[in-house]
Amino acid sequence: TLLHEELAGDEVLVVSNREPYLHMRTRNGIEVQRPASGLVTAVEPVMRACSGTWIAHGSGSADRDTVDRFDRVPVPPANPAYTLRRVWLTKEEEQGYYYGFANEGMWPLCHIAHVRPVFRSSDWDQYVAVNQRFADAVVKEARTDDPVVLVQDYHFALLPRMVRNVLPKATIITFWHIPWPNPESFGICPWREEILEGLLGSTILGFHTPFHCKNFIETVDRYLETRIEHEASTISYGGKLTQVEHYPISIAWPENDNADKPSVAECRASVREEHGMPADHLLGIGVDRLDYTKGIIERFQAVERMLELHPNLIGRFTLIQIAAPSRSSLDEYQNFDARVRMLVQRINNRYSSGNYQPIILKAEHHDADSVIRYYRAADVCLVTSLHDGMNLVAKEFIAAREDERGVLVLSQFTGAARELHEALIVNPYHIEQSADAVYRAVTMPDVEQRERMRSMRSLVKDFNIYRWAGRMLLDAARLRQRERIMTKIR
């Protein structure tokens, strides 16, 4: 209702690289999959609520037949609420724009995880071209001259200005799902001015935290001639005003508190049984894309250190790590994958006995229900990102625990740590500290677990994804109204 009130019949278009549904050709015909993506987790429920069109890269479905059939599809498949419009990219476009500029350039540039960004002119050319292709798709899809366009993430830094040039009355809300670094770090990007100018085509530019907003405003101040109103958090550039605001992203709170799911007790028992563990076995869970920003290596080292310090837990504690393969054609990701596997092997060689293994790595895609089952079975969830915009795994874990048990160990370098103060907050680079936190988690009295979990659950339930979208749309509605009044006065 809140979303409908804010939108008041306005046309909504979402643009993102990742599509909310993959139509995959398998031996059994077309199968629909949900990708592992925080962005999709967050934006999909919003689109279900407000309908409209979601424009995304048709990545999952490649052959000619699927291209023809799945160009424009009503989704979700079981209960259509909005349209998924796919833009098909060539291999070269995908290589240069997605793998190259977005994921070898912008991703390491914005995440301070000490992986050196790579900037190639040929990738940049594809990035510009693909941004233009998506901007053209937005213009083509728009039925009115003032749609609300929700632009997602670092794949589309240039698109806001491209759309603005053709649809000057559009309300463009751009959300940057990853961190924004300080001006010195950002300044190494050879096309820093173009990126900033592109983003300043937005009516509203959103980040997860005030800190990222501050970094962005300082970056603009350093590299562009603009007028900045620090108190109002606005930037005027080329006669256009952009509001820079923080909107911490969240998740949709589970309907009826998971009443339709197997109970926590059932999940605890079945996961342990499946892995040949006794009923009181202590279980940690990690859920990530296999990405070097997620602190997976440091997490495993912390588990190893904990077993070293507390040998009574050898044979009694296991970490199950779900790691969805990601961007795996890039060298950096292949090397990371190999390092992760080697470390698991080394730690398991050191501590396994009989069918006991301290770390179980499940490096494959898991659907949402199976992830929830692990969240519910776990005693502790480990989120140890080296740097992360928000991290929705932390919030999903909390939402899955209506039993008010389970402990969250959370990196201080996630946006989530700014909200979830009752988690055990760690510096993931400090292995000793993380090891202590995991130990503290698995030995935490029930009363303390309940107190912490209850407080975090009430926060996430309240500040859910509809609140995130609602706040952005409310701010946009105010700006739209102000613009209308100013046009009349002029």
Which residues are near ligand F6P by CB under 6 A?
17-18, 37-39, 153, 177-178, 289, 326-327
Rounded Cα distance between 246 and 211, Å, is 9
CB of 231 vs ligand F6P, minimal distance in Å: 30
Handedness of CA 377, 410, 318, 436 (dihedral sign): negative
Using CA atoms, how far apart are residues 98 and 92, in angstroms rounded to an integer? 10
Closer Cβ to ligand F6P, 178 or 416, answer by number = 178
Name which of 165 and 334 has its Cβ closer to ligand F6P.
Answer: 334
Instruction: Using CB positions, name the residue nearest to ligand F6P.
Output: 37
CB of 230 to ligand F6P, least distance (A): 28
Least distance (Å) between residue 398 CB and ligand F6P = 19
Q: Which is nearer to ligand F6P, 60 or 201 (CB)?
A: 60
Q: Least distance in Å: CB of 182 to ligand F6P? A: 20
Region of 138 please: left (phi>0), alpha (psi -120 to 50) or beta. alpha
Q: Which is nearer to ligand F6P, 42 or 407 (CB)?
A: 42
Nearest approach in angstroms of CB 37 to ligand F6P is 3
To ligand F6P, the closest distance from the beta carbon of 107 in angstroms equals: 7
Nearer CB in complex with ligand F6P: 393/407: 393
- Based on CB atoms, which residue is closest to ligand F6P, 392 or 408? 392
Question: What's the closest the beta carbon of residue 383 comes to ligand F6P, in angstroms?
Answer: 14
CB of 154 vs ligand F6P, minimal distance in Å: 7
- Looking at the Cβ atoms of 111 and 401, the one nearer to ligand F6P is 111
Q: Is the CB of residue 148 less than 8 Å from the CB of residue 13?
A: yes
Q: Which is nearer to ligand F6P, 327 or 373 (CB)?
A: 327
